[in-house]
Chain A
């Protein structure tokens, strides 16, 4: 791993001030550190934000669940509050990586990295999340821009992620058997205001499948999507699954999610 300057920021202001186009914020480091070791990334400054107390914790209030950016997957998975308010979100966290990864990896790190096969981005889409940073609040639909790309600026720190509590929801994924990343992951959520179908693993970036959501709005049952055609155009194709297979699995896992709601 190439050398860098390590900083432990005491508050968000300091973290943001230390940041530049040649720095990275460090939370769990489950992607950042292996990426640096593999030579895929290098930075002059690594700014650790784990010791900023304000960035961790879970709050449930009426219609929303708000999770601090450096809250670990294991904390979300075991939170009684999350299990009660949005059980599918706790289950999603429980299915990330392995226990040691869940003991380090954070929700903010996951969404800031926006891996096309990560789990949390689909939750943000399905649960109408608002991503609160140190200088603005961003709707999930606008936050995720493309492969490993978000609208975050280099000095911008995610503080909390606020999820709307749905009437019903379920996240179903076909995990890669080795890494547990999603070959396909589908998060279906039924809100009073509408239905979202957040799909991860299928394309270069998470998306809300409006065709599936439209069919489910008319009739919330797995048979309602039988006639929806899922095009494999633009879908990922790799050694794990072809684009045609992925297209098929998007439908299969949407059905699974609807049945589990």
Chain B
């Protein structure tokens, strides 16, 4: 067992975890933050993307023990005062989701993209979302949603 102290969505959290607990496991099973989804569980599908110290990573492939002292933002941490984040709003408006399983990861990844590039082209959005797999939408409306968010942010 390892004791770790991290910050999740602005709240300080101190937990005793098993050595092999992943960040996705800590978020979902211990902190009950089930917005972060686990798809492939081997860092290919991107459903589990969260931000650690401001950068998007796949939480299924990061050990929680190794993130002691980090700041984590999950999909639950995007909305503020009951108001959706512009990226969430844009996914809703542009029908950037269907079943919604990949959406938390898509949104977290797309938010990181706009941090690095304010007005990405279609190709840049598609390249950035390379590690996020969606089996419903065909991606077209996801790209449209990211562009819509970029125009609002």
* A interface residues with partner B (beta carbon < 8 Å): 1-6, 8, 26, 29-30, 33-34, 36-38, 46, 48, 50, 74, 97-101, 103-104, 178-180
Contact = CB atoms under 8 A, between A and B. Distances in A.
B93 interface: no
B33 to A, nearest CB: 18
Contacts, number: 79
Q: Give the dominant DSSP class at B's interface.
A: mixed
Given A6-B20, A100-B49, A30 B65 contact: no
A147 B66 CA distance: 29
B56 A1 contact: no
Interface residues of B, number: 28
A31 to B, nearest CB: 9
Interface of B: 2, 18-20, 22, 41-44, 46, 49, 55-58, 61-63, 65-66, 68, 109, 112-113, 128, 130-132
Nearest to B56: A100
B57 A4 contact: no
A101 B43 contact: yes
A6 B2 contact: yes
B131 A98 contact: yes
B62 A99 contact: no
A104 B20 contact: no
Given A33-B63, A99-B112, A100-B56, A179 B49 contact: no
A119 to B, nearest CB: 15
A26 B63 contact: yes
B81 to A, nearest CB: 29
